[in-house]
Amino acid sequence: MKKVIGIIFTGILIFIIHSCSSDDGPITMMTMEPAPSFDRKALLTNWADNVIIPRFEAYDKRLDELNSQHNSFLSDTNVSSLKALRNSWLNAYLAWQHVSIFDIGKAEEISLRNFTNIFPVDTAAIFQNISSGNYNLLLPSNFDTQGFGALDYLLFGIGKDDQDIVNILSSVDHKAYLGDIIVRLKEMNQEVLNDWKFNFRNQFIDNSGSSATASTDKIVNDFLFYYEKFFRAGKVGIPAGVFSGSKLSLKVEAPYSGIYSKQLFLEAFGSIENFYNGIGFETGENGIGLDDYLIFVQEQNNFSNINEMILTQWTSAKGKSQDLSNNFRDQIENDNLKMLETYDELQKAVVLLKVDMLQVLNIQVDFVDADGD
Amino acid sequence: MQMAIDLYQLYSRINSKTHIAPLVTLRVLFGIIMFFSMVRFWYHGWIEKLYVLPSFHFHYYGFDFVQVPGLWTYGLFVICSISALTVAVGYKYHLSIVLFFLSFTYIELMDMTTYLNHYYFISVLSFILIWLPAHTSLSIDARLNSKIRSLYLPRWNIDVLKIFLAIVYIYAGAAKLNYDWMINAMPLSIWLPTKLDIPILSTFMNTKSVHYLFSWGGAIYDLGIVFLLLYSKTRTLGYFLVVIFHLLTGLLFSIGMFPYVMIVATLIFFSADFHLYLQSFVRKIFNQKIQNISENSQYQETRPISQKFKKLILFSSLFLQIIIPLRFLLYPGNVFWTEQGYRFSWRVMLMEKTGYANFKIVDGKSGKRFYVRNDDFLSSFQEKQMSTQPDFIVQYAHYLGEHFKNQGHQNVEVYVESYVSLNGRKSRPFIDPNVDLMTVADNFNHKYFILPFEK
């Protein structure tokens, strides 16, 4: 028996000596000196301070402007104040695209995304709410009667032309509803922003471990969920009929204004890339992001360059989308093939993100924190 | 001639009498740990998340009849927990251990998604315990019925457990002897650098030599530990390594109760004296003295035939335990990639596999097609498991096909575009996207539609 143990321990010893001294072959760079792991805390700090909080702040400002344009519209209801209101709606909607990803903390708790941008909206239910004057916007049953989609309908689709829309919105009931949904957007974001600034930021950064509930795992899962479900499927796949077999052009984002659907899509695309690359919202500086994390792990293990593949794939998806009409609704109805081609390019990135990236970063795409073996 | 003598010696050895104490410790601690692990499962809300909420469940081949009984699932867990407790205290032992085995195994069979080697381990161990007289000492049964009291039993009753553990460890070790594990230190090179929650150790988690040390150490541990435990001189060292190894893996990976199960199970290798010493504390607490049991009393079956029957059952199940992990040899291709013959083989924490499966429903006549959103049908956990395992993919494809047929779709064909990444390699197409999965069956035949792992 002693012999067996002897052999085992000699084996281990030889192995350790070998691994510490060898400087060629597959086992290179072997040293017992601790090599620092990727600093997840620095990643989270950059995301919180330079990406997420500034984005929520910018969105907050745009909502303030929307609110004040709405006040102008109330006091002076005409086509020109309607146009000004629409303009501030668009700016706020574009700013929203930057924060929609972050369904975490307070935003998750209050269902910020569901109350802000569920589309298509239920126009019959909106009409019902307005005419009855009896509605509770806090209820999940009212997800699709408020937010930017409802504003799109009210500001662009409720009448046959601009003057008609102004006439309709002049009614007390309509004005009240318009006011309520704008105020609600503002209030929800205020709550989320304050929580990020005064409470959640530190919690988010301190939770820098690697369990399924740690911040990195959670926000990367949120990011992929957003990319797959709300960006790829919501903005392109569903209206193009990928999941139904037939085109559903009314399911594009902001179908009543129409001409902004591509702009909103591209804004969201930019926000996705900037989050991934860790680019500061105000500063524009390229901070620590998933790109750096991937490069760190890839180089250490001689893996293939996933980061580059992801960026290249996104570039080609953007390239495909260049040919699309500003109005996705028109695009789908007239030449859906181009829409489907864009979808395919976005889809290819899903594989790179969900399979290759998650594998290399050891992030579990699994919200059930169950046992493994 | 020599062989005949050896066999004779072996035969008389396994039938010679030995003290029951190791088996009793195992029964008590196993029952307690199982009780806590059932309560823990409930406490985490997993009964609801894993069994009650999902509308579709993956089945083991031939076990389609095992269905999740809705809210009665909680009842199953109650039965399982209570029987674990009554096993521990040795109350109506035969009934309890049978109930435990059946309820636990039923739970595991309800959804293949939750398959874990250590759940399988528990099923097999409890099956073995059914046939062992673990209740004849330090139990309520023995207290109530003096007739069954006994301190000795034929040695094979203990040996069968040691052999089972040896099979588990050695197969686990042998499975580690592959290129990725030994030469690339994969997947530990991916896993360890993110384990930064442990003081001191975390400093070394990104050190390449530590990844190799863990890989090789793990393989050597699994292959050698049983031998250290078998010999009295090395047993203490061996057990020390058992505790270190399992606590460390428990610290690094979320593997639930498994470390404790193994730390308890390996106690079986210790001598009766050691176990009597352990048990003396328990006896003190309950003020129970070993009385009125003659030193020679040996567990006597009412019908001697049943001894032979039990031996037959146990040793043929051990034989199966040796055969089952080898079935992967019958299939072509890399077992890590195809997973044909992967389960029930003690391949523990052996690979990092990530996948993505995108299902396409096609009308075979009109060519009209659309894609499926998996989260309409599966939980995220089910989707994760499905996307890397061919038998899951086939089952799910059939489920989708039937679902859309029932919705009135015509000429339903189901295709999958799937990608899998194994141990840090770039993802590759996994299932042949041109095969209509409605035309293939989920069975033990080689799944020809798995694309080759090698380029």
DSSP string, A44-80: HHHIIIIIIHHHHHHHHHHHHHHHHHHHHHHHS-SHH
User: B196 contacts in A (CB within 8 Å)?
Assistant: 37, 40, 208-210
pLDDT of residue B190: 92
- Closest chain B residue to A340 measured between Cα atoms? B370
pLDDT of residue A29: 44
How many beta-carbon pairs under 8 angstroms link A with B?
A: 173
User: B258 contacts in A (CB within 8 Å)?
Assistant: 371, 373
Count of other CB atoms within 10 angstroms of residue A257: 21
Report chain A's terminal Cα–Cα distance, integer Å. Answer: 31
User: B371 contacts in A (CB within 8 Å)?
Assistant: 237, 242-243
Nearest to B421 among A1, A237, A356 (CB): A356
> Which tokens hold the place of B114?
């939750």
Please tell me the distance in Å from A243's CA to the nearest CA on chain B.
5
Confidence of residue A109 (pLDDT cuts 50, 70, 90): very high
A367 contacts B380? CB cut-off 8 A: yes
Q: Look at strands B152-154 and B369-371 and give their pairing.
A: unpaired
Yes or no: say if A85 and A155 are a contact pair by the CB < 8 Å rule: yes
A350 touches chain B (CB under 8 A): yes
A313 touches chain B (CB under 8 A): no
A64 touches chain B (CB under 8 A): no
Kindly list the distances between the CA atom of residue A216 and the CA atoms of A38, A280, A364, in Å, as whole numbers in the listed order.
12, 18, 11
**Alpha carbons A24 and A249: distance in angstroms, whole number:** 59
**Alpha carbons B152 and B296: distance in angstroms, whole number:** 8
Nearest to B370 among A233, A243, A370 (CB): A243
A359 touches chain B (CB under 8 A): yes
Beta-carbon contacts of residue B452 (< 8 Å; ≥ 6 apart): B333
| pLDDT, averaged across chain B | 92
Angle between helices A2-21 and B208-230 (to 10 degrees): 180
Nearest to A362 among B190, B203, B381 (CB): B190
Beta partners for residue B422, in sequence order: B353
A35 touches chain B (CB under 8 A): yes
Count of other CB atoms within 10 angstroms of residue B447: 22
* Best B421, B423, B455 residue to mutate vs chain A (most A CBs within 10 Å): B421
Rg, chain A, Cα only: 25
A355 contacts B183? CB cut-off 8 A: no
> Which tokens hold the place of B31?
């029952």
- Closest chain B residue to A368 measured between Cα atoms? B381
ipTM of this model? 0.86
Average pLDDT value for residue range A95-116: 96
Residue A277 has pLDDT above 60, yes or no: yes
Yes or no: say if B379 and B53 are a contact pair by the CB < 8 Å rule: yes
Cis peptide bond upstream of B69, omega within 30: no
Indicate the length of chain B as a whole number: 455
Please tell me the distance in Å from A158's CA to the nearest CA on chain B.
32
Q: What is the percent of chain A with per-residue pLDDT over 70, rounded to a whole number? A: 89
Residue A36 DSSP label: P
pTM: 0.89
Residue B72 has pLDDT above 90, yes or no: yes
B216 contacts A370? CB cut-off 8 A: no
Rg, chain B, Cα only: 25
**Alpha carbons B428 and A294: distance in angstroms, whole number:** 19
Yes or no: say if B187 and A301 are a contact pair by the CB < 8 Å rule: no
pLDDT of residue B281: 83
> What are the tens digits of pLDDT across the range A32-48?
566 778 999 999 999 99
- With the C-alpha atoms ordered A343, B439, B111, B115, is the resulting torsion angle positive or negative? negative
Average pLDDT value for residue range B249-258: 90
A355 contacts B356? CB cut-off 8 A: yes
> Which tokens hold the place of A121?
């909206």
Yes or no: say if B150 and B297 are a contact pair by the CB < 8 Å rule: yes
Please tell me the distance in Å from A255's CA to the nearest CA on chain B.
23
> Which tokens hold the place of B260?
């404790």
A208 touches chain B (CB under 8 A): yes
A362 contacts B352? CB cut-off 8 A: yes
Confidence of residue A27 (pLDDT cuts 50, 70, 90): very low
Please tell me the distance in Å from A65's CA to the nearest CA on chain B.
38
Confidence of residue B283 (pLDDT cuts 50, 70, 90): confident
Confidence of residue A276 (pLDDT cuts 50, 70, 90): very high
Residue B124 has pLDDT above 90, yes or no: yes
- Closest chain B residue to A343 measured between Cα atoms? B371
pLDDT of residue A213: 82
A38 contacts B370? CB cut-off 8 A: no
Q: What is the percent of chain B with per-residue pLDDT over 70, rounded to a whole number? A: 94
pLDDT of residue B286: 65
**Alpha carbons B255 and B263: distance in angstroms, whole number:** 14
- Closest chain A residue to B422 measured between Cα atoms? A359
Beta-carbon contacts of residue B421 (< 8 Å; ≥ 6 apart): A355, A356, A359, B353, B354, B355, B427, B428
pLDDT of residue B206: 87
Residue B66 DSSP label: -
pLDDT of residue A245: 87
A241 touches chain B (CB under 8 A): yes
Confidence of residue B293 (pLDDT cuts 50, 70, 90): very low
Nearest to B196 among A37, A297, A360 (CB): A37
Please tell me the distance in Å from A272's CA to the nearest CA on chain B.
21
Beta partners for residue B371, in sequence order: B360
B209 contacts A30? CB cut-off 8 A: yes
> What are the tens digits of pLDDT across the range B152-201?
999 999 999 999 999 999 999 999 999 999 999 999 999 998 887 777 88
Please tell me the distance in Å from A79's CA to the nearest CA on chain B.
43
- Closest chain A residue to B258 measured between Cα atoms? A373
B118 contacts A245? CB cut-off 8 A: no
> Which tokens hold the place of B288?
């129970």
A233 contacts B256? CB cut-off 8 A: no
> Which tokens hold the place of B156?
């094979």
Nearest to B420 among A16, A355, A370 (CB): A355
User: A33 contacts in B (CB within 8 Å)?
Assistant: 207
A20 touches chain B (CB under 8 A): yes
Please tell me the distance in Å from B8's CA to the nearest CA on chain A.
24
Please tell me the distance in Å from B305's CA to the nearest CA on chain A.
38
User: A35 contacts in B (CB within 8 Å)?
Assistant: 206-208
- Closest chain A residue to B362 measured between Cα atoms? A245
Count of other CB atoms within 10 angstroms of residue B233: 11
Beta-carbon contacts of residue B180 (< 8 Å; ≥ 6 apart): B186, B187, B336, B351, B423
Average pLDDT value for residue range B109-123: 96
Phi and psi at A147, nearest 5°, equal 80, -165
**Alpha carbons B118 and B259: distance in angstroms, whole number:** 9
Please tell me the distance in Å from A207's CA to the nearest CA on chain B.
10
Nearest to B427 among A15, A229, A355 (CB): A355
pLDDT of residue B204: 86
Beta-carbon contacts of residue A179 (< 8 Å; ≥ 6 apart): A70, A74
Beta-carbon contacts of residue B181 (< 8 Å; ≥ 6 apart): B188, B215, B219, B350
Residue A188 has pLDDT above 80, yes or no: yes
